[in-house]
Amino acid sequence: MKNNLTKKRALAEFEMFLLVASIISFSALLSGIYSAKEVSAISLPSSSAEQCCLTTKQGASCIDLPLSDACKEQCSGTCQQTSCSEVSECKSGCGFDKENGLCTPNTPKKACDESPSCEFFDDAFCNINECQKGCCILGTNSMLEKLSKVQGVPSEFHLDTPDELQCISLSQNANTGACVFGDSEEPSCKFTTKSDCESTIKGIFYQDYLCSNPELKTKCEKQKSTSCVEGKDGVYWFDSCGNQENIYSSDKIRSWNNGKVLSKEQSCNPNSANADSANCGNCNYELGGICGESRTGTDTKPTYGNYVCRDLNCKDAPDNGGGKANRINGESWCVFDGPVGTGSIASGKSSSGLGDILQGITLGGEIGLMSTDLVGSRHFRYVCQNGEVVSEPCADYRKEICVQNKKSLDNGKQIDEALCRVNMWEQCISLNGGIGSLAGQMTGGAPTVCGPECLFQCIRNPDCRLQPVLVDTDFWFTACVPKYPPGFDLGETSGLSGLASSGLSSALGSAGGIGEIAGSALGSLGGGNSGGSSAQQVCSVGTQTCTAIYVKMCPGGWKCVKNCQCEEIGFTLQMNNLCASLGDCGVYANIAGQATGLGAIITKKGSHGKTPPQPFILIPLYMALAKILKGQPSNGGFFNNVGGILQLPLYGISSMFGMTLSDLSPSVGMNFLGRASAGFNPAFTAGATGAGAYAGAATSMSLFGPSSIIGFTGAFIGAAIVIGIMYLLGCGEVEKVEIKFECKPWDRPFGDGKGIFDFGKGSGCDFCNKDPLKICSKYRCESLGTRCTLINENTGEDKCVSIEGEATIPIITPWEEILNKTFFKYQDSSTNGFRVRTSEGECIQAFTPVVFGVKTDVYSQCRWDIKQTGFENMSYEFFESGKFTKNHTLSTVLPSVESLVAGETGSVEEFNEAMSNQSLKNSLLNALGDMNIYVKCANLDGKANDQDYKINFCVKPGPDLTPPVVIATAPAENSVVAFNATEQETLFYINEPAECKWDLIRPNSPTLENYNSMANTLTCDTNMSSQNILGFPCIATLPVVSGENKYYLLCRDQPWLEDNSSRNLGASAGKEYEYILKTSASTLEISELKPEGIITRGTEPVSVTLEAETSGGADSGNSVCYYSLNESNGYIRFFETATNKHKQILTSMTKGDYTLKVKCIDVSGNVGVKTSSFSLQLDGVAPEVTRVFYNSGTLTLNTNEDSICHYGDSVGCIFDANSSVMNGANSKSHTASIEKNSTYYILCEDIWGNKKSGCSIELTPYQT
Amino acid sequence: MRMQKRGQITLFVIISIVIIGALIIFFSVSNTGKGLVDRVTGAEFDPYASLVSCVENNNAINPKISEILVQGGDSNPQHFALYKNNKLKYLCYTNQFYDRCVMQEPFVLQKTEKEIQQQTQKQIESCVEELKSQLNARGYSSNFGRLNYSASIVPDNIILNIGLPLSISRGETSKNYQTPFEVRKKSEAYNLIMIANSILNFEARYGAADIGEFMALYPDIRIEAQKQTDGSVFYLLSSRSTEEQFSFAVRSVAFPPGYGL
């Protein structure tokens, strides 16, 4: 017995359990709560979040800048206290250049006003008559131009030919021939079109005749020279007069064709490019040949003349995997940095297509399935252009992907055609459901990840795929993940994204001194990377815990009975594959094929079983995958052509966690921006801030389970405690072993990234500069190593270099500024470490949050552990995660001995028995009285200090005499809930494990009797693993009635003591806690909705502005609205919304009848719905004169629609801008003073430019 | 003695060659010389031809035009992105993510014309001064009206329109020149700017113009689109025949990296 106790003590002391309970996913939880307003259903900014600068110091016009000093710093004038869309000078419209007939969309009014020839139209997309294009044919030339630009110029103008290619074709197919004019003895001749000959030259036209035809007896001699013709591909003969003849062929007789026109199809080798042909000039641009002067040494010398078809094709153009291929001119194809899309380690394949669908449907696939895009990789589109291979990189960070299809040419040949388009990865994440309720989360209920609807939508989306995780019978799920995961800003990954103290307190409604301590201390951690990627946040959704169950058999010992496979390599492989498929997370390889192992780690909590192999053992596998697999382009599904891209809606990306109402589920096709699907529990998420938002955040952030959000605490406590207690008490029945896979941001290789094994591919920073067709970028460069940095960014001289310096081993010192000196201090600081104590030098009270940190003299990554070990083996990171900084932050909440023991025992008897074991208790007290964590930091080269830096804590012993305190609530106090809400799920955070009750009636005093008489009990999680920096969560569903609702909360700490009277009672300064919720004063109404009725325009497409105005609800009508014109496509968020005025411009509407449905939701979950109908009609008819009469010298004329009427004596009504206009322009009634007995010609034109050819009316007034 | 005589003769011959050469150079090259010749011969002087010749042969004009074109039609852009030591003007820009850009320079053609006019004004004026001295040297008295100079960019040419009312007289003859004249410079600037306009229109409406289609329709124009990490795109348009380049920057419908939370 004694030996066993000694053994257990040794174990306890050895394992140095440390209650750094709050090494949670701090940012995940708190930023989820802090950004409740963003993560909730609605994101409602207060008034205007931006200021408009008319002209910045850099010269940019009409720029929205944030509401801060940024505007004053950047603006050369005064900042307008509103956004630019509300400033008249910055109002966007169409700028029409009257002089040149040019149209410029999205032009600010002030820019137009500055130009005297500019006319401003409200339609920002220039869907106006003046800007309607048609085909203008002038001679043999053509141009797609606006009508306004060609008026007054003799030409043909075809409004029904808006396509450029058709227009060119029209001109080329125009009848051509010889136009003979001049001296009858020896006439001149010009080869042109019939219309040009007759109207301009006024000659005699001979269709299909060449000017050198002897029948015409012109002075032009045939086939004198060769040259190119503008707008045509081939080499042509020219006669002595300079007229174009037929296509060049060395067979002169054939090509002269007896003086008649010979078509391209009838000329030599019509189906060939004829590149470098000395004898045939029938070039074909599409096939790779075009007319050009013969270059010595490059082109073939033609038999006659100096012009030849130049070869425009590309020989040995670079292809994927280092290969080469011949490409023809105009062909485009995708090139990648390595494997892309879905790949399988087992099959060794990387591609996308039908196979993925099958794999997704069967939910089996191969265990090695993952999204294979390498860290730092980018998609490229190569184009063969006139003999040269040109690279067009798709957007970096894989924001765009390259998709490729086959295209058939006229001669039947198939070529590749590639396109960069937006990567719709967001939809994949948002399709996953999550935990339906916080209650379920707290009790560890099984997660629902990708349900049937999610599966269906995921398969439909060409950029999404299903990632099955099938480890054991009770640990399996499927998630919808991006096929091409997006990249992160590798230099900016941070665990503190978006956190600020003010937001923290307002979101949480902190209460009590402890909350304020937490708030102020945590507030100093604010800043972070609010604008960029929160890699830590994102990767943490891949953090999952598998719980294996062990049962003690007597005899037989402990045996695993459930989820035993979680201890095997399969768990590691599948979880890492999932992790790497979310983004730049986990263990994976970069574009140089170098893989790093710090992006994921597996920990085990429990004394039985084994820890599965760590993810870093997969490094060789991923390195091989990166080198061996070649990228295969996908066809991209829909949106695989330019026309498809135009269908993508053009508005800001909403929070992918924003959408919570189940009946507003979006369509994948129409909304590439994506939202959380109907997996949320609508009732729970009503009243979006706070609890709902938390759930939303939790659900969205954690695809798979609760533990990644709430985090784990006291991880190693159980390891020692359980052994001792369970052994002491005899045969335990069941023990859970929690195997946690922690998915973290991908770690860059240390130093300049030069690997030991580079397989001849090269590595290091210079790898980025090697290929001129794959330009180096910040993302690519930083992925190669911690020392790799891009210089001359975006200048065209970009280069990835290795930065020097910062090579010394880091020296660690205490970070004074982070510590709240009012309550704490560092003691006994030395080069080996320091102690954290209260400001009085005493041990810290249990359940007190402490924020502290260390500084290093060089930029470094710091890690810590409870045991002394090497840097690479340390299990835990500081809040700064993988970022190289000089300041490193940690926080902790220290529990009491009793809470530790209670967390590991199942009943009061067990607890009492454990606590009565004096030596166990003493060993725990000693351990809590002297806890150490060991810190090591590594510089940019990965060199860490050999000696551990020790940080010491101690917990103040003694009985717990302080009552529990409510630290924070969600929703915040005095929040407003929906008008018709009947209940509200609410979270209360208590600073220590406690049991709580609530009632509508205030208890007279905080006594046990009053506590027991309270009607309702909260569900509280008192497990140490549920603890975070704010404490222990308790949840309740509070009934809500109209108006103000007050609730009173009381808590008893130390639940393990059951009815023991030493339990403390309180919730706020020893008394009850009052919590208030209010309902909205009214429902949310959509007071105005436009358009309605009939809308008439002159041309298609038509721009239609949807406008809605909301009122009432929780916040004076401020809400987020969505519209639908076709319910089967779902609802789409208004581009301008989140206030009480909502606007959406639709630019490509065609005529027809439409039913517009609008739904709005405000911050409290009030919903307003309205429907309107409108009809778009086109007016292509000229105005008609309905009535005319003349009296006493005044002519009065009425038209059937608003119009402007010109009048005068011009027969045929040919009027210019200076002609007389009748009074009443743009109305239906027009008057003018005219003389009797004179004939007047009147032409009326409506506001769309419709007018009759000729006159509307001719009249001669007579004296009656 | 004989040798000395030969040497003297040789020397005189050399000196006379030098004098004659100098005289030829003087009368053919210098304005004064030419003027004297004209006076003596009574040859008529065409001031406009002289002015045109001066403008056409001015080596400073073409580089200025090239600089303006390569910087998006601006000689000194204020809001620009640096690319290979060139300032690419932002012709359409927004600082927001996901938003379409706002036109910063709605009328690029007009702006470019104005810039060319402003930047080459000095060269034109120096040619006018040169003309004045030529006229004086030839004994003309002249009366110059106000110089009215502008530049136009049209298909295939950049036209420098010089309006310079002028009356000259010498002896009993006098002439008036009122009609403005043009100096045409072969240039693909019009096509480049029109295509740039189309690209800008597309960017302002939809973001991310597809350049492949433009290049297929206009094979003589090479178009490069360099996407930058901040969401900007640098467009580099160049003529395959004249090697002229028109380049500019756009930032429209940009996406933040990663999840953008």
End-to-end Cα, chain B, rounded Å = 106
Return the residue of A nearest to B218 by Cα: A231
pLDDT at A446: 38
Residue B200 lies in a domain: yes
**Position A1039, amino acid:** P
Q: Could you tell me the two tokens for A739?
A: 């195997």
| Sheet strand arrangement including B166-170 | B141-144, B166-170, B173-177
Residue A759 lies in a domain: no
Residue B173 lies in a domain: no
pLDDT at A353: 42
Which residues are CB-neighbours of A595 under 8 A, at least 6 positions away? A587, A588, A589, A618, A619, A620, A622, A623, A626
A-chain CB neighbours of B204 within 8 Å are 104-107
pLDDT at A176: 86
Residue B6 lies in a domain: yes
Asked if A652's CB is within 8 angstroms of B255's CB, the reply is no
Q: Which of A100, A290, A794 sits opposite B109 (nearest CB)?
A: A100
The domain in which residue A1224 lies consists of: 1185-1259
pLDDT at B42: 60
**Residue finishing a domain among A953, A986, A1017:** A953
Using a CB–CB cutoff of 8 Å, tell me whether A755 touches chain B: no
Q: Is the Cβ–Cβ distance between A342 and A483 less than 8 Å?
A: yes
Q: Which of B254 and A697 is assigned the larger pLDDT?
A: B254
Residue B13 pLDDT > 80, yes or no? yes
End-to-end Cα, chain A, rounded Å = 135
Residue A989 shares a structural domain with residue A1046: yes
Q: Is the Cβ–Cβ distance between A775 and A391 less than 8 Å?
A: yes
Residue A826 pLDDT > 90, yes or no? yes
Residue A295 shares a structural domain with residue A225: yes
Task: Mutation target for A interface from B76, B97, B102, B108: give the one with most A CBs within 10 A.
Answer: B102
Residue A1074 pLDDT > 70, yes or no? yes
Using a CB–CB cutoff of 8 Å, tell me whether B212 touches chain A: yes
**Residue finishing a domain among A1148, A1178, A1208:** A1178
pLDDT at B84: 83
pLDDT in tens, A200-259: 788 889 989 999 999 988 889 999 999 998 778 899 999 999 999 999 999 999 999 999
pLDDT at A505: 34
Residue B148 lies in a domain: no
What secondary structure does DSSP assign to A926-994, as a single string? HHHHSEEEEEEEE-TTS-B-SSPEEEEE-B--S---SPP-EEEEESPTTEEE-TT--EEEEEEEESSSE
Residue B6 shares a structural domain with residue B103: no
Residue A811 shares a structural domain with residue A949: yes
Residue B157 lies in a domain: no
Closest approach of chain A CAs to the CA of B201, in angstroms? 6
Asked if A56's CB is within 8 angstroms of B79's CB, the reply is yes
pLDDT at A525: 34
Residue A782 lies in a domain: no
Lowest-confidence region among A430-439, A967-976, A1059-1068 = A430-439
Residue A244 shares a structural domain with residue A188: yes
Beta strands in A437-589 (DSSP E): 464-472, 475-482, 544-553, 557-562, 588-589
pLDDT in tens, A128-175: 777 776 666 655 555 555 555 554 454 556 665 555 556 666 665 567
Interface of A with B in 104-123 (CB under 8 A): 104-108, 111-112, 115, 117-118
pLDDT at A903: 66
Asked if B257's CB is within 8 angstroms of A489's CB, the reply is yes
Asked if B222's CB is within 8 angstroms of A385's CB, the reply is yes
Q: Which of A178 and A346 is assigned the larger pLDDT?
A: A178
Q: How many domains does chain B have?
A: 2
The burial of A255, by beta-carbon neighbours within 10 Å (0-12 exposed, 13-18 middle, 19 or more buried), is given as buried
Residue A1047 pLDDT > 90, yes or no? yes
Residue B232 lies in a domain: yes
Residue B127 lies in a domain: no
- Please compute the mean of the pLDDT values over residues A114-135 and round it to a whole number: 79
**Position A101, amino acid:** G
Residue A245 shares a structural domain with residue A306: yes
Residue B197 shares a structural domain with residue B245: yes
Lowest-confidence region among A106-120, A313-327, A714-728, A954-968 = A714-728
- Please compute the mean of the pLDDT values over residues A1246-1263 and round it to a whole number: 83
pLDDT at A156: 59
Residue B5 shares a structural domain with residue B96: no
Residue B210 shares a structural domain with residue B246: yes
Q: Which of A111, A392, A775 sits opposite B106 (nearest CB)?
A: A111
Residue A545 lies in a domain: no
CA A787 vs. chain centroid, Å, equals 28
Residue A102 lies in a domain: yes
Q: Give me chain A's average pLDDT, please.
A: 76
Element (H, E) at A1214: none
% of chain B at pLDDT higher than 90: 39
Residue A1094 shares a structural domain with residue A1211: no
pLDDT at A10: 64
The CA radius of gyration of chain B, in Å to the nearest whole number, is 27
Closest approach of chain B CAs to the CA of A307, in angstroms? 15
Residue B260 lies in a domain: no
**Position A503, amino acid:** G
Residue A184 shares a structural domain with residue A296: yes
Residue A515 pLDDT > 70, yes or no? no
Beta bridge partners of A552: A558
Asked if B93's CB is within 8 angstroms of A583's CB, the reply is no
Return the residue of B nearest to A485 by Cα: B258
Task: Provide the 10 A C-beta neighbour count for residue A1095.
Answer: 17
Beta strands in A454-521 (DSSP E): 464-472, 475-482
Residue A1132 shares a structural domain with residue A1024: no
Closest approach of chain A CAs to the CA of B208, in angstroms? 9
The burial of A403, by beta-carbon neighbours within 10 Å (0-12 exposed, 13-18 middle, 19 or more buried), is given as buried
Asked if B259's CB is within 8 angstroms of A61's CB, the reply is no
Q: Is the Cβ–Cβ distance between A773 and A384 less than 8 Å?
A: no
Residue A417 lies in a domain: no
B-chain CB neighbours of A535 within 8 Å are 258
Size of chain A in residues: 1264
Task: Provide the 10 A C-beta neighbour count for residue A10.
Answer: 12
Q: Which of A674 and B220 is assigned the larger pLDDT?
A: B220
The domain in which residue B33 lies consists of: 1-43
pLDDT in tens, A911-924: 777 778 777 777 77
Residue A193 pLDDT > 80, yes or no? yes
ipTM for the complex shown: 0.77
Task: Mutation target for B interface from A104, A311, A488, A490: give the one with most B CBs within 10 A.
Answer: A104
Residue A1171 lies in a domain: yes
Q: How many domains does chain A have?
A: 7
Closest approach of chain A CAs to the CA of B160, in angstroms? 18
Residue B199 shares a structural domain with residue B244: yes
Asked if B93's CB is within 8 angstroms of A102's CB, the reply is no
Task: Report residue A295's pLDDT band, with 50, 70 and 90 as the boundaries.
Answer: confident
CATH at residue A1235: 2.60.40
Asked if B259's CB is within 8 angstroms of A538's CB, the reply is yes
Highest mean pLDDT range out of A489-503, A1136-1150, A1184-1198, B172-186?
A1184-1198
Highest mean pLDDT range out of A23-27, A605-609, A1213-1217?
A605-609
Residue A811 shares a structural domain with residue A948: yes
Return the residue of B nearest to A123 by Cα: B205
Which residues are CB-neighbours of B212 under 8 A, at least 6 positions away? A330, A332, A383
pLDDT at A484: 93
Residue A273 shares a structural domain with residue A159: no
Using a CB–CB cutoff of 8 Å, tell me whether A307 touches chain B: no
The burial of A397, by beta-carbon neighbours within 10 Å (0-12 exposed, 13-18 middle, 19 or more buried), is given as buried
Return the residue of B nearest to A386 by Cα: B219
Q: Is the Cβ–Cβ distance between A1029 and A1089 less than 8 Å?
A: no
The CA radius of gyration of chain A, in Å to the nearest whole number, is 38
Closest approach of chain B CAs to the CA of A155, in angstroms? 17
Instruction: Give the residue carrying structure tokens 């439909």.
Output: A460
Interface of B with A in 80-119 (CB under 8 A): 81-85, 90, 92-107, 109-110
pLDDT at A199: 78
Residue A919 lies in a domain: yes
pLDDT at A906: 66
Residue A942 shares a structural domain with residue A856: yes
B-chain CB neighbours of A396 within 8 Å are 227, 229, 257
Phi and psi at residue B38, to the nearest 5°? -60, -40
Residue A833 shares a structural domain with residue A947: yes
**Residue finishing a domain among A274, A295, A311:** A311
